Structures are given as structure tokens and as C-alpha cells.
Structure 1
Amino acid sequence: MRENILLFSNAYHAFILNEIEYASRSFKRVVLLCPYHQELDKVCKRMKNVEYLYEECDYRINLKNLVLALTVFDRVALKQILLAFKNKKITRSYLYIIFSYMLSTVILKKVMKKIISESGEWIALSLWFAQTAYAFSRIKGNYKELKIFSLAHSFEVDDKKNKYINYSFKKMCHDNLENIFFISRNVMEEYIQNHVKKQFWRDDILSVYYLGTIKKQQGDCQMSVDGKFRLVSCSHCIEVKRIDLIIEALGHIEDIEIEWIHIGDGKLFNSLKKQAESLKRDNIRIKWLGKKNNDFVHQFFVTNAVDAFINTSFSEGIPVSLMEAMAYGIPVIATDVGGNSEIVFNDINGFLLSENPEAKEVAASIRKLFNMSTDNRKNLRKNSAEIFERSFNADKLRPEFYSLLKGKKEIV
């Protein structure tokens, strides 16, 4: 049985913190290959069996790295660049993506020479179905006994969210990975329908395993009892999150006293605040809390009344933010995109909006929840907490996943 695992990511994301925790419980040795991040460093230092190799993970654009990237430049990369020229998609950003694919391969080759020469058999897990999955695919031929897997979210396969998807790279991953684990069934099925079947790629390596999340605080969130309706959203202020739609929806509500709290910042933060100021409604109060760490969000849910959590994105995997709200019994309102319909059920734990709702539809869902009887609202809250516990509690899901990687369980 394999006792060592290598986790590889070309960028930090909060979900990696949980993955390190669960991997460390299942494997004797865990190596994390990822650019430096303070939160990752803090978590890794707490665990004796985790080694954080951030110095090796250098994605800076400089002459040295450009030369290194060229040493592994292959026909697949050339094909992608030629296609980009043909489709007039060559940009600086696109070329950096190609560069990062090549550099991921360089970084991985160097690390593999170090760790594979040491004792023990290894499992390799790419935390994204992109650069790092491709890098593992490139080195597979040199390490026949290495078992390689990849997680797949939505960004890596959603054409609407990511215009720099490289499907030639995906084909190489299909040919060389043991399994690709999608975090959403809807996203996986859309990927199969739109790409795998059309290009006759193998689909027997695709499975669904939810990431889930952790409930960090004891207790549940309470609903408002003073006649106000308190709405919370938590996301980066970027186009895909469509926060402007929430503001437009609030503009259609004149008969309810609403307090909307947004957690998160981003490039649209100031313009969204300016848009919100133009509402000029006495019944609407808006709080922009800006960037907060994850612990703050969990603490907020148990120390403040929240009547609904809202997500109006036009593209998602399965948002961890929805899971976190549900963990504390908060009803959710979300657009029917990505895996949202796998977690939000109409009149059960909230409301599922259409994929591209008008502001009036969003406003109607807020009004409907506000006008529910106290008992019905309590049922929504109870159902939210139960759905989280049954299907999205990482303390149940992820130990099972890592047991699967070790070979203790069969992949389904």
C-alpha cells in the first residue's frame, strides 16, 4: 500500500488547506508543491509529516525560467499556439498560460528526481485539471509505477469562465492519468457531452467526489426577529460573480427593510459600491466588509442573524461559500449554473434561480423567502444544515477520498 503522496498546485486556493489536513491523516508522508502562501505555511508547519516545497515552485517570468520552459516545449504546446494564431487568440495572457504549463513540467521533473529516489511508493495528486495535471502527464513515462490522479473544478473546463482552455493538453491528461475527480456532477456531465464524446476521449477515468468543507464553529446561525431581512453574499468582486445583479434586484424591493452584507473585495469593489450608492433607498442598508479570512466568515455566521445567503454567478463548480452558509442552517438563493443544483433545492433549503435571471426574478426570490411563515423558514434552515451534514461535510467526505487513493476503497 502506498504511504506517500505528492500534492501539486500552481496557485494557492483556500480549499488546499483542508486537503493538506486530510492527506496528512491518511499518508505517512505528504509533500506539497505550491507557490508560497502564509496560510499554507502555517498549516504545514503544524504537521510533522508534511513538507512544503514552495522555493522549488517558481513561476516568475524571467530569462532563466523562459529558457527552462523552452527545454520542455513540445508538439502539444506548438499545436496550441498555432491554433491560437489561427483563431486570433494570441495575447500576452495566453502566452503566459502556455509558459506556465511548460514551467510546471520543469518544476515537477526537478522535484520528482528528489523524492522518487527516496524510499516508499508514491501517489501523485494534481489539485487542478490544468497546468499541474499536464505536468504529471508529461513525466508519467519516466515513472511507470507512479499512480497519478487529478481534481477537476469548473474553471479548467468551462469555456465561459476561462477563454484560455487548452484541450490538446486535456487530451494528454486523459491518456495518462489514472482518474480525474470532478467536484461537481453537473460540470463533469457537461464536459463529457461537450468535449469528451465529440473528440472520442476515454471517459472511464472520470468520477465525482465532492470536496465539501468544514464547519469551524459550534452552533447555528439565527434568523432575524426584528422584522428586517438580512442577506449575505461572499465572493470576489469580479465579473463572473455578477454582484451587480444583487444591487439591481434590491432596487426592485421597496416594501421590505433589508440589510445586505457583502464579504470580499476585488477589482470591481469600488464600482459596485458606487452602483449601490445610486439606489438611494431608505429601506436598503448595505455593508461592504471587504476582504476577510475564512475564520471570520464562520465566526460571522454564529454571531450575526442571517436570513439568506445569495450567489448570482454565471459560472460555478460547487461554491464552498454555499456549503459554509448551509453548515450553519442558512437558506440559500443561487443561480442554476455549474453544480449549484446539486446543493440548492427549491423550497427545500432555498431557491434555485434560472441560469441568467433578470433582477426582478432575484427580487422575487428574496420577497418569497421574507414572506414565508416562521415555521416554513425554520424548515428551510433545518434542511440546509441536514443537507450539508449528509452530503458536504468534508470530515466525512475527504478521509474516504484519501483512503480511495491509497487503494483501500474502490473508485466508483
Structure 2
Amino acid sequence: MKSTLVILSNRYPYPPGEEFLQAELEVLSKEFEKIILIPTNRDTANKKQLGREVPNNVEVIHIFENDRTSVFFRVLNVFTNRRNRKWFFKELSKSLSYGWKAPLVMLNWLSIACEIKDKLQLALDHLDHHIFYSYWLTPSALALTMLKEEGLNAKCVSRVHGGDLYAERHQPAYIPFQEKILLGLDHTYTISENGLSYLTKKYSGLENKLSVQRLGTKTTRSADHIKGNKHSSVLRIVSCSYLKPVKRIHLLAEALKHCQFPIEWTHIGDGPERGKIEETIKELPEQMKVNLLGNKKNDEIMEIYRTNEFDLFVNVSESEGIPVTIMEAFSFGIPAMATDVGGTSEIVNSENGILLKKDLQALDIASNLAYFYGLTDEEKAKKSRCAYDTWNQKYNAAKNYKEFATLLKD
């Protein structure tokens, strides 16, 4: 029997989030005869009508459809099942070292993982004939690790990105079962060299279980069309992110107050900080034009890049894995100005953009916008070509995901 690839996502193909999984799924669907896509977030059971289109050979299975299990009974399952209970006590002492909240976080993770594990066993026949791929190193990856320990004879791997990788991003600074998952899975793929370095320094002896497999995006531009934009007296910048504090879009809005030249700023994305940002926009000088486009589907974002001329993509986040949004901008020859966090320095450099220090203020952003505005058209065009070349060499979806498919099948 030929192997079927089973992908465990968080919500995909349902919104919000994980838009970048679309490009990967398109390539993987051409490399596997059949793919089963399983969103593991319970909320998706009520969003079937909102799902994005998937390739014809991709079957979406809703493991939580019509499930009414309460949190109480989910937690009870941890302690009434001997195997599940063992996982709790193996991790308890470690979690306690991070304070009283950490064991509660750990118990929640474990209860979700146990539920996913049980649902997979009910939903799928012949588990040993599948290849399992968790998109995140979260309870879904823990569920696969538990199945492996219980005798599953199938290849089980995971990606790890940012929030599921760096413990310091959490309060408390603890990610449950991380080392045990890395040991239990056949392989884990970081999306950046920074992520790989972080894990190999944190856990010794896992080098043969870890490697880098970069994400990628697709484009509708070819190298021949990357020639730099037409001369303009206006600096046209674009940003794309969820409007939450960690993305620091409010700092970008503040920075425009300090710029003495005309700027047209387009932001793609929505979120809880929108009201705060709109209030700042009201205070901007007349030479500033702002377009808040709200949430857009991935195909719509690509069309925005294709049909508009942008001089610079801006990312001022205080925390990242490696930004897919920058890959998308680069694929259209848009240079980037971004903070040096996570794996961002692996994609942005002085040739294809501007790398900012992490601890920046609005004035720092403004001065770097002024620097870019002052470049000659030829200098901007050179950065544009370098941005596209970086994408094509390192973050081209067709190349990266075909290579990843080969590793999955090996």
C-alpha cells in the first residue's frame, strides 16, 4: 500500500492564520498520491463553510465534528488512562521549576494531545501506512510522539517555527514536553538556521534529529520584470501583519510623524490594535497617506503586490521566526526594512534592505525611512533585484517544498 501524507495543521484550511501553508500544500499535493489534512483546533468544527479551497487529492477530516467533550472530561482522560498519566508525571517536576502556572499549561497541552491522539486512531485506518507531519511543534506533535511510544510504526515529523520554538516568548518561559517531542519524533525541521542553533544549544545529543527546511512562497513575477519602480517623489511603503502589540505597527505609525517627506503607507491585516493606530493616523501631517486594507486572503495579497508599486516593505516586530511576509515581498522585488529578531537576519541584509536593531523607537524607524528615501533610483533598483534573487535562491516555494516532499518520502 502506498503511503498517504497526513498533515496536522492548527486551523488550515479554515481562517484565521496559516495562509502560507497554501503554497506548501499545492506543491506537496503533486508529490503525493493522497493527502489527509486535519485541523486540530476544536474551533474549526464549526467553520466548514469558511474553508479555503484545497487540491483535489487533499481530503480534509474534521476530527472534532459533533464533539461536545468538556474541559473537565478532557483533563479526566489524562488521569484515568495509565499511559496518559505517565506523561503527566514525567513532565511534572520540570514544569514546577517554572512556577505554579507552568503545570497548568502542561496539563492543558497534554489533555489536548491525548484527545488528538485518540481522534486520530478513530478517524484513520492502517495508521502504520501513513506519513504524519505536524505543522507545529505543539500538542499535535506531542500526540504523534505518544502514538510512537504506543507502537505506531510510521514516519512522524514536525516543523517548528517561532512561538512553538522560543520558550522566552511565553509567560512563564516554558514550552511543555519540547525535549521529549524532539526525542520521540523521527525528525523535526526548523524553518531557520537561528531556530536550529537555538535547539542544538538547548538540548545536547539531538543533532541527528534536527535540520533546516526553509519555508517558501510563490510569485507571479519573473526575474525579467524586476527592474525597480518608476521614479516617485513619494515613498511607497507596505506592511503586512496582524495588528497586535508584538508586531509594533503602532511604532511605524508614530514614525511617520517625524518624516519630512511624503509617504504613502499601505497596511494589510487587522487586529485589536487597529483603533490605537487609527488614532495616531489622525495626527499625521498632510503629506502622509495611509491605506488600512484589513484582512486579505493570500491570493488577494499577491494581487496587491502585483498591481501596485511599493518601494519598501516594513516589519518592525519584536519577535519572529522567519517572516513569510518578507519572502512574499521579496518575490515581487520589494526590498525590506526589518528588525533583527529570530531568523530575520537570514533573509534581510544591507544588499536587499535594511536591518534594524530590535530595541528601536519611532525615531529610529523614521531615520531609516529617510535614508531609504534618499537613495538614488539605481540604488533602490539594485536592492529590488537583490531582494528577488534572495527569494529565488532560498525561499522559492516550488524548489523548497519539492525538496521537503523528497525528505518526507525517503
Give TM class, smaller chain.
0.7 to 0.9
Query: What is the alpha-carbon distance in structure 2 between the residues aligned to residue 59 and residue 15 of structure 1?
Result: 30
Out of 16, 29, 36, the position equivalent to 1:31 is: 36
Query: What is the alpha-carbon distance in structure 1 between the residues aligned to residue 280 and residue 238 of structure 2?
Result: 18
Q: Is the 8 A contact 1:234 1:263 kept in 2?
A: yes
Q: What is the match of residue 335 of structure 2?
A: 331
SS in 2 for 1:17: helix
Deviations 1:293-316 (A, max 9, x none): 112211111211211000001111
Deviates more, 1:293-302 or 1:357-366: 357-366
Partner amino acid, structure 1, of 2:9: S
| Cα drift, residue 114 of structure 1 | 4.6
Deviates more, 1:303-312 or 1:284-293: 284-293
Determine if the alignment matches structure 1 residue 248 to structure 2 residue 257: no
Query: What is the alpha-carbon distance in structure 2 between the residues aligned to residue 122 and residue 209 of structure 1?
Result: 21
Q: What is the match of residue 15 of structure 2?
A: none
| Cα drift, residue 79 of structure 1 | 6.1
Q: What is the match of residue 358 of structure 1?
A: 361
Q: What is the match of residue 162 of structure 1?
A: 170
Query: What is the alpha-carbon distance in structure 2 between the residues aligned to residue 116 and residue 142 of structure 1?
Result: 16
Equivalences for residues 98-177 of structure 1 within 5 A = 98-117=107-126, 121-163=129-171, 166-177=174-185
Determine if the alignment matches structure 1 residue 274 to structure 2 residue 279: yes
Determine if the alignment matches structure 1 residue 77 to structure 2 residue 88: yes
Partner amino acid, structure 2, of 1:109: D
Query: What is the alpha-carbon distance in structure 2 between the residues aligned to residue 71 and residue 386 of structure 1?
Result: 56
| Cα drift, residue 128 of structure 1 | 0.5
Q: Is the 8 A contact 1:317 1:340 kept in 2?
A: yes
Query: What is the alpha-carbon distance in structure 2 between the residues aligned to residue 201 and residue 191 of structure 1?
Result: 10
Equivalences for residues 2-401 of structure 1 within 5 A = 3-12=3-12, 13-34=18-39, 35=41, 36=44, 41-44=51-54, 46-47=55-56, 49-56=57-64, 61-72=70-81, 73-78=84-89, 87-90=98-101, 95=104, 98-117=107-126, 121-163=129-171, 166-193=174-201, 195-196=202-203, 200-216=204-220, 223=229, 225-254=231-260, 256-278=261-283, 280-346=284-350, 348-401=351-404
User: Gaps spanning 5+ residues in structure 2: where?
Assistant: 13-17
Provide TM-score, normalisation by structure 1.
Answer: 0.87
Query: What is the alpha-carbon distance in structure 2 between the residues aligned to residue 96 and residue 190 of structure 1?
Result: 22
| Cα drift, residue 109 of structure 1 | 2.9
Q: Is the 8 A contact 1:129 1:151 kept in 2?
A: yes
SS in 2 for 1:404: helix
Query: What is the alpha-carbon distance in structure 2 between the residues aligned to residue 203 and residue 247 of structure 1?
Result: 43
Q: Is the 8 A contact 1:149 1:180 kept in 2?
A: yes
Provide TM-score, normalisation by structure 2.
Answer: 0.87
Partner amino acid, structure 2, of 1:177: L
| Distance change in 2, residues 1:374/1:180 (3 Å) | same
| Distance change in 2, residues 1:70/1:53 (3 Å) | farther
SS in 1 for 2:208: coil
| Cα drift, residue 320 of structure 1 | 0.9
Q: Is the 8 A contact 1:326 1:385 kept in 2?
A: yes
Query: What is the alpha-carbon distance in structure 1 between the residues aligned to residue 327 and residue 249 of structure 2?
Result: 19
| Cα drift, residue 20 of structure 1 | 2.6
| Cα drift, residue 344 of structure 1 | 0.6
Q: What is the match of residue 410 of structure 1?
A: none
Query: What is the alpha-carbon distance in structure 2 between the residues aligned to residue 399 and residue 8 of structure 1?
Result: 19
Deviates more, 1:318-327 or 1:290-299: 290-299
| Cα drift, residue 149 of structure 1 | 0.7
Percent identity between the two aligned chains:
28
| Distance change in 2, residues 1:179/1:83 (3 Å) | closer
**Matched residue count:** 395
Query: What is the alpha-carbon distance in structure 2 between the residues aligned to residue 107 and residue 90 of structure 1?
Result: 23
User: Gaps spanning 5+ residues in structure 1: where?
Assistant: 408-412
| Cα drift, residue 141 of structure 1 | 2.4
